[in-house]
Amino acid sequence: MEHQMPPEGDWRSWVILGGRGAGKTRAGSEWVRSMVEGARPEDKGRASRVALVGETIDQAREVMVFGESGILACSPPDRRPQWIAGRKMLLWPNGATAQIFSAFDPESLRGPQFDAAWVDELAKWKDAQGTWDMLQFGLRLGDAPRVCVTTTPRNRKVLTDLLDRDSTVMTHAPTEANRANLAASFLEEVRLRYAGTRLGRQELDGVLLADEEGALWSRANLETNRCKDMPDLDRIVVAVDPPVTGKVGSDECGIIVAGVTMQGAPQDWRAYVLEDATVSASSPTEWAHAAVDAFHHWQADRLVAEVNQGGDLVETVIRQIEPGVAYKAVRASRGKVVRAEPVAALYEQGKVHHVGMFDALEDQMCQMTNKGFTGSKSPDRVDALVWALTDLLVDAQRAQHRPRMRVLGH
């Protein structure tokens, strides 16, 4: 498969990000073979001294060496290396060696030197940075020592820093990419149990879920506030953030549906994000139809639309499609971050829940920082979310804390 093939070009580190069972181990094993083997069994290859680094010695031995997709299983009889247990080493017919190391013992990498390394599950290592640093000092043999990293992605600094380097190349595959070699019952079970969860995106889709520095929302908080079902809601709104222009290639039209339970005092109310109906529309009529369709589907109480860019035209377009829709125009008088901060605070207080998973929306949320939005395009989905939750919760809380006028008698 394509993600298992070494990329071309002049690179030092090849990172294979993949879901569980995506074929990462097989890719690592075949890469080691490609480095140490020559044209014939006893011919020298590009590398002759390889480091195999796993989370523990047992895992390195049982997965990387003896596993079903390990080096021994992938090697034909005339090229199969010999396992020397006392030295924790593989010895090939051409004299090349591969020694296993544990990430729990970074100091064991102090001294040995290599011209290639295979690192497995880097993002799981307890002392990932210390072990990685020791390995880099040992990769000093040959003209261009290389390392292959096979890992399920986790938001670890050692991994994100590695991916940011110019000398690093990355390939990616979800679990589904290797479905031909996986039990159908396994795929059915994990889909049923983890589809739509953060854990599923990480462990099955192989997606690196990173939080930006100073982000108003974190992945951990979103996961904490996620739910599968919604209660009976007292109000539902559809919030719209129209694009500046309505043509092909313009920004998306953010459309978010959210509802609220209004039991008790306003500080006890809870909001639920129900749908991200955002669309890429080539005309105002297209996004207006999408917004009105969401309004009817959810039997919403009101449609809230930002009018900074379109002014009265926004309402005109919507009413051309649904003349009687309950409509509220909102105008931004403050920056996006200032508007978003009270809504982000509600998430921290556990007052907003996502009913299911909204990948694109949540990606934008985690890119909204206290210094602005770090994404490549406009945060249209987040803007619509902020308008929806401001209408449902923020304004209610502000009204509660607004000083009341007293009428004084004479």
Give the bridge partners for 249, in sequence order: none
Six-digit token string for 279: 């669309």
The answer, yes or no, to whether residue 46 has pLDDT greater than 90, is yes
Cα three-residue angle 285-288-294, rounded to 5 degrees: 140
Amino acid at 310: G
Which DSSP string do the residues of 6-32 spell out, in sequence order? PPPSS-SEEEEEE-TTSSHHHHHHHHH
Residues 17, 148 contacting (CB under 8 angstroms): no
Residue 1 scores a pLDDT above 90: no
User: pLDDT: is 101 or 310 the higher one?
Assistant: 101
In 197-291, the DSSP E strands lie at 226-227, 235-241, 254-261, 270-276
Whose CA is closest to 330, among 259, 402, 394? 394
Tell me the C-alpha distance between 135 and 103, whole Å.
10
For the segment 207-236, what is each residue's pLDDT rounded down to a tens digit? 887 677 889 998 888 888 988 889 999 999
Strands 13-18, 146-151: pairing is parallel
Q: Which two tokens stand for residue 214?
A: 């100073």
Average pLDDT, the chain: 89
3-class SS at 96? Answer: coil
Task: Decide if pLDDT at 34 tops 60.
Answer: yes
| Cβ atoms 364, 243 nearer than 8 A | no
Q: What is the pLDDT of residue 189?
A: 85
Query: 308 exposed, middle or buried (CB, 10 Å; 0-12, 13-18, 19+)?
Result: middle
> Residue 383: in which H helix or E strand, if any?
helix 380-389
Strands 270-276 and 352-355: parallel
Do 389 and 217 meet the contact criterion of CB atoms below 8 Å apart?
Answer: no
Closest CA to 121 of 107, 146, 109, 104: 104
**Half-sphere exposure of 349 toward its Cβ, with a 13 Å CA cutoff?**
14
The pLDDT assigned to 6 comes to 87
Q: What is the pLDDT of residues 375-391, one digit of tens each?
A: 777 899 999 999 999 99
pLDDT attached to residue 410 = 43
Which amino acid belongs to residue 343? V
Residue 401 has pLDDT above 70, yes or no: no
Q: How far apart are CA 274 and CA 353, in angstroms?
A: 9
Are 138 and 113 a contacting pair, CB within 8 Å? yes
pLDDT digit string, tens, across residues 228-266: 889 999 999 999 999 876 555 567 899 999 999 999 988
Type of residue found at 18: G
What's the rounded Cα separation, in Å, for the pair 53 and 102?
6
Q: Is 210 helix (H, G, I), strand (E, B) or coil?
A: coil
How does pLDDT run across 182-210, given as a tens digit for each residue?
888 888 888 777 776 667 777 888 888 76
CA Rg, the chain, in Å? 27
Q: How many residues does the chain have?
A: 410
Q: What is the pLDDT of residue 250?
A: 62
Q: How many CB atoms lie within 10 A of CB 72?
A: 15
Q: Residue 398: which pLDDT band, with cuts at 50, 70 and 90?
A: confident
State percent of the chain over pLDDT 70.
93
Percent over 90 (pLDDT), the chain: 63
Residue 283 has pLDDT above 60, yes or no: yes
pLDDT of 102 reads 96
Residues 140 and 113 sit within 8 Å (Cβ to Cβ): yes
Looking at the DSSP assignment, which residues form a beta bridge with residue 51?
A: 99, 117
Task: Tell me how far apart the alpha carbons of residues 12 and 167 are, in angstroms, rounded to a whole number.
Answer: 5
Query: What residue type is assigned to position 255 of the chain?
Result: I
Q: Are 322 and 300 a contacting pair, CB within 8 Å?
A: no
Percent helix, strand, coil in the chain, to 5, is 40, 20, 40
C-beta separation of 306 from 387 below 8 A: yes
Q: How confident is the model over 71-113, as pLDDT tens digits?
A: 999 999 999 999 999 999 999 999 999 999 999 999 999 999 9
pLDDT of residue 17: 93
